[in-house]
Amino acid sequence: MVETQIAARGITDAATLRAMRKVPRHLFMPAASARNAYSDGPEPIGYGQTISQPFIVAYMTEVAKPARGKTALEIGTGSGYQAAVLAEIIDTVYTIEIVPELAREASTRFKMLGYGNIVARYGDGYKGWPEHAPYDIIIVTAAADHIPQPLKDQLAEGGRLVMPVGNPAAVQHLILLIKKKGGIIEKSLVPVRFVPLKRLGN
């Protein structure tokens, strides 16, 4: 998977490639679809949600510039796969999931696989997780038509935020924000298709 889908498509960051080789994607999927674990696309994980395509996980990881000493916030834990890939590289990953069943399943999985540096909770990630802010990395794995202001506020100086932005029902663009000297630099990367960012109470 890493050779043909990820390295061949231009991912070069050594830490990202190492993490993608190490994390067993099949253990993040329902048993019934685990035989598709190393194929080249998103896969259903129940509750209308998906585990992202391996290449997209690698791409978002590389763009976020993970390194030891950094902390990250992920919105949309889902299966927990993206959080685990980050946790192989950085110090601590905080992750929030809005579907209670998925949040519970992911927490069990992190414990089973020994990811003591992932802190997971149920909730609406729109408002981020101010208690542990600021974050060097914020990764949002669900799409919306704008980047939530609380997430921009919780980004550290020099921090990087990656999120699919656009029409949640169609194709979005992966957007990279970099906070520099209080200002924000915004770059549009590649077209992507993610499930919509939901709001509690909507």
Which residues carry out catalysis? 52
Q: Is 90 in the site for ligand SAH (CB under 6 A)?
A: no
Q: Which of 65-73, 110-118, 170-178, 194-202 is the region at the interface with ligand SAH (rule: CB under 6 A)? A: 194-202
Token pair, residue 52, equals 């992202």
Tell me if 110 contacts ligand SAH by CB under 6 A.
no
List 61, 141, 154, 172, residue binding ligand SAH (CB under 6 A): 141
Interactions with ligand SAH, residue window 38-67 (CB under 6 A): 49-52
Binding segment (CB under 6 A) for ligand SAH, from list 8-16, 32-40, 120-128, 153-161: 120-128
159 binds ligand SAH (CB under 6 A): no
Q: Do residues 156 and 134 touch, judged by C-beta distance below 8 A?
A: yes
Cα distances from 92 to residues 80, 109, 133, 140, 190, in angstroms, run 14, 16, 12, 16, 27
Distances (CA, A) of 124 to 4, 75, 127, 147: 36, 8, 7, 14
> Which residue's CB atom is positioned nearest to ligand SAH?
78
Output the smallest distance, CB 115 to ligand SAH, in A. 13
Give the residue carrying structure tokens 């990367």.
189
Phi and psi at residue 8, to the nearest 5°: -65, -25
CB 181 to ligand SAH: min, Å:
30
Among 19, 73, 96, 119, binds ligand SAH (CB under 6 A): 96
**Residues 18-37 within binding reach of ligand SAH (CB under 6 A):** none
- Check residue 107 for interaction with ligand SAH (CB under 6 A): no
CA distances from 10 to 3, 37, 88, 125 (A): 10, 21, 20, 31
At 27, list the tokens: 């253990």
For 138, the token pair is 């914020």
Query: Minimum CB separation from ligand SAH for residue 170, in Å?
Result: 16
In sequence order, what E strands does the chain have? 43-46, 49-51, 71-75, 92-97, 118-122, 135-140, 155-166, 172-180, 183-192
Minimum distance from residue 67 beta carbon to ligand SAH (Å)? 20
Residues lying near ligand SAH in the complex (CB under 6 A) are found at 49-52, 75-76, 78-79, 81-82, 96-99, 102, 124-126, 141-142, 195, 197-199
